[in-house]
Amino acid sequence: MIEILDVLRLIGGFIYLILGGDLLVRGALGLSRKTSISPVIVGLTVVAFGTSAPELVISVYATATGFSGVALGNVVGSNIANVLLVLGIPALISPIVADTKALGKHTVFMVVVSIAFVLMILNGVLSRAEGALLLTVFFGMLVFIYRRNATLPSTNFSSHADQFERILGLPSLVRVAVGFLFLGAILLPLGADLTVDGATAIAKRLDISDVVIGSTVVALGTSLPELTTTVIAAFHRSSDMALGNVIGSNVFNILLVGGASAIVAPLPAPSAFLDFDVWVMLGSTLALLAFVSWRRPVNRITGGIFFVAYVSYVTYLM
């Protein structure tokens, strides 16, 4: 029987994580606008890390406290939720279309990273060496973006600045921006602590594995910022922003979140997880590649199919 205190811990943790990530990014964007810090540097550092902060902090914390299944489940489950849910719901509001060639290249990179990740864990564990390799690719990607003045959706300073300005506003004073950064840095670990405690307690009471709770409840909670962003983008008919957020988030989840978690401790992958979850992730990733490559809209019918597929996935696991 689930206790209400465990549920409150989980909900409170999600609130702290979302607020912490939001304050971190808004503080960084506001600070960049009021100082001489290059927007490119902010985009490649705080914005890039901040948008993946909930997944990163909770996965690293879960691994460090002995719940590595939560970390691995969160990476895979978040990527599944990003495609099927975070794109499915906004598509019910307005069709999502890939209008630029750059998104096609980014999607191909996301697919390559996803396939490499699946191949790494097929032997039943994501080792420290493999985690180091993922992190190396991640930092190499950031260096490439900086030197070539290229863009990856999650590192685009101007799009994030415009997005946060339109939704919640940015701090106009330096001391307020610094305060946002400070509060965000405090709230994130607090949120991770509450979320992991609540999620693992619920998993034990329901007699399900921590990797399942990571793939479902935790993944859904940490995907709420992306879901909110894409819904708002759909209302503004900003298809590229909606797709860009999903693509960038999925790449960061695997390279940064998966890599950093495996560095802390090897991540064992249960056989049931390898037989089902990773293939759902890969299948949804390839489906997104097809829509972007063919420039076919993710319309309301497709959005409905995505949403039903995600509900079916969660129902099957639970």
| Model confidence pLDDT, tens digit, residues 117-168 | 999 999 999 999 999 999 999 988 878 777 765 555 554 545 555 555 555 5
DSSP string, the chain: ---HHHHHHHHHHHHHHHHHHHHHHHHHHHHHHHSS--HHHHIIIIIHHHHTHHHHHHHHHHHHTT-HHHHHHHHHHHHHHHHHTTTHHHHHHS-B----HHHHHHHHHHHHHHHHHHHHHTTSEE-HHHHHHHHHHHHHHHHHHHHHT---GGG-HHHHHHHHHHHT----SHHHHHHHHHHHHHHHHHHHHHHHHHHHHHHHHHT--HHHHIIIIIHHHHTHHHHHHHHHHHHTT-HHHHHHHHHHHHHHIIIIIIHHHHHHS-EE--HHIIIIIHHHHHHHHHHHHHHHHHT--B-HHHHHHHHHHHHHHHHHH-
The CA distance from 309 to 318, in Å, is 14
Instruction: Write the pLDDT tens digit of every residue in 25-74.
Output: 677 767 767 666 555 555 445 555 656 777 888 888 889 888 888 889 99
More confident residue, 39 or 174: 174
Query: What DSSP letter does each residue of 177-190 carry, written as one string?
Result: HHHHHHHHHHHHHH
Residue in 219, 196, 226, 200 with CA at minimum distance from that of residue 277:
219
Q: In the predicted model, what is the mean pLDDT of residues 239-256? A: 78
Q: Are 13 and 198 in contact (CB under 8 A)?
A: yes
Mean pLDDT calculated for residue range 253-279? 92
Single-letter code of the amino acid located at 41 = I
Indicate the number of domains in the chain: 1
| Full residue range of the structural domain in which residue 55 is found | 4-317
The pLDDT assigned to 116 comes to: 96
Mean pLDDT for all residues in the chain: 79
Report whether pLDDT(227) > 80. Answer: no
Kindly tell me if the per-residue pLDDT of 288 is higher than 60. yes
Q: pTM score, two decimals?
A: 0.79
pLDDT band with cut points at 50, 70 and 90 for residue 298: confident
pLDDT in the model for residue 255: 93
Q: What is the pLDDT of residues 189-205, one digit of tens each?
A: 777 778 778 877 877 78
> Running DSSP on this structure, what letter comes out for residue 298?
B
pLDDT-based confidence at residue 23 (cuts at 50, 70, 90): confident
Q: What distance in Å separates the CA atoms of residue 156 and residue 162, rounded to the nearest whole number?
A: 10
pLDDT at 292 over 60: yes
Q: What is the CATH number of the domain that holds 63?
A: 1.20.1420.30
pLDDT at 307 over 70: yes
Question: Quick one: pLDDT at residue 34?
Answer: 65
